[in-house]
Structure 1
Amino acid sequence: MIQTEITPFLEKISSPLTKKEINVLQINLGKRCNLACNHCHVEAGPQRTEELSLEICLELIDFLFKFPEIKIVDLTGGAPEMNYGFKPLVEAARLAGKQVIVRSNLTIFFVESFGYLPEFFAKNQVRVVASLPCYLADNVDKMRGNGVFDDSIKALQWLNKLGYGKDPNLILDLVYNPQLPKDDKFSLTPEQTNLEIAYKTFLQEHFDIVFNNLFTITNLPVGRTKLHLERKKLYSSYLQFLESQFNPDTVENLMCRDEISVDYLGNLYDCDFNQMMNLPAKTKNGKTLTISTLLKAGSLDLISEVQTSDYCYGCTAGCGSSCGGALV
């Protein structure tokens, strides 16, 4: 019997999805980007102008020093490097003793006035998590634009020369995204460990590139991925596929449970996907939160339950999916 309706996610897991101790602050600095990738859940691009303000940037810097529980500051966008506040947030986070992650598209290194980035990353021991959705040029350029693969390879070689992928303090990770489905023959991301071996072998043999980890991330039906699925009339069937692949073992490790996500306006969410779908984090009383709210409260414990939706099946399908790759 073919399933035609989606089981509400909370019904599937049969209990509220509770928040754990929060130790990750993910900041989406804005939607400005030098690329307009066809799978981008942020719908970022060169024409977007939304970005962090000075006021919110200063609140975030205050936040970094006020909450020692936060161990990791995860900077994303758009191209986070293009948006206001990037450099001061990196420097403040490092001064506060946090690990800093930047989610980079790599090609930004070759945009005018951004050539300083690789050395800036190395100086501040920023962990670079770089999008490279395939190790074959044709597949990457189809997803992200002509010439992106070649620039990505040059950027990775640049980072390697600075010690990334070799020095234990300079971590370089790559991210795999599957191509968007063209029909209803859906599949999950390949097994992460084996795909990492394939990436490492190919990139070292052909380009003398080394890196630390490969993260496999499922395309969630959010942003441009959702628009693509709707155009192809695949949205409902893709959600049904994701639900059919639900793995209860992934729930314990879901990234939304120990992180908070903040947008360029200072509003709080349980994860970046909820942020893009405008599903804010809430208190027990149903109140939405901002960075300012947490600063005034002096506590990160105002959120007890994670807000969920149908697209949560994307993070719990198969081996699971998170900003750090597979969950099990």
Structure 2
Amino acid sequence: MSNLSKLEFVALDISGKNFLPWTLDAQIHLTAKNLGETIIDDNETSLQDKAKAMIFLRHHLHEDLKREYLTIKDPLELWNNIQDRFDHQKLVLLLKARSEWIHLRLQDYKSVSEYNSALFRISSELKLCGDNITDEDMLEKTFSTFHPSNLILAQQYRERKFTKYSELISCLLVAEENNKLLLQNHQARPVGTNPLPETNAISTRSKHGRGRSGGPHRGRGRGRGRSNTWHRESHNTKIDGGRGSSRQNTGRPHKGRVSGDKDNICYRCGMSNHWSRTCRTPKHLVEAYQRTMKEKGKQTETNLIEGAPNSSSPAFWSDTHLEACDFIENVRDV
């Protein structure tokens, strides 16, 4: 009996909350061990088989339950006592499963797989308690709980007339994965833009030295005594500004000319540290910069025009300076 030294499934809890799955597991394992008849009424099994079944059942009980049923030696009697004690758990689980089934909605879950897992769990509990859930019930539950924004999609799936829930859930899972892929492709870069090409710039300079060539070909002919060597600039090699000879970087500051490339500004995008021919700024940013440069410097002329008050308004008479000649046509007559 060394195979009974460890639990083959979860032991029955003292509260009986796992009574239904424990009952199912115990029946399956006893049948697999040819001990299933030991918990059936009016069985004629041998004492040895009853002892094996008793050991197996007690091994999968809570420690407190073992002490409560310490005097029972018949597996059938132990089985019936456990059934009478925790049989009410079936009604408790049934009410809970029915409530979860009523409030189950596809729109409440972030993914189809989560909804599918919850639906199968609830339907299994209902079947275990005696309520049969068919494929038609699961299909109707899924169709009627789509999100309101997907009503047309739900109607299209309904018109396909699925007969099995597995067929519908397969279509939903595939559609969900395709939507994720499309969303990832959309978020990879903005709409209407192309991926930036990779550009590698290599700066080369020629070295013309006098003397014999260091290459494998030596002798007479044109260009004798000269060697044309092309080399790449690296971080540890600097070019002498006057004579064209190269020397290794010793860590000391270079005393030659300091290049002003870092101070140059690209006239294409307005950024520094690169030239216009190597500019990799996106096209829409370049166009925005060019428009800004064109509009820069334009001065907006502003003219303030005040409307003259009407002669019939009080403001006209209060602000206008009047003299006597304005009222008398001929001053000499006065």
Both structures adopt the same fold (TM-score exceeding 0.5):
no
Determine which structure has greater relative contact order: mean sequence separation of CA pairs < 8 Å that are 6+ residues apart, divided by chain length.
Answer: 1
Structure with the larger helix share: 2
The TM-score range, normalised by the shorter chain, is: under 0.3
The higher radius of gyration belongs to 2
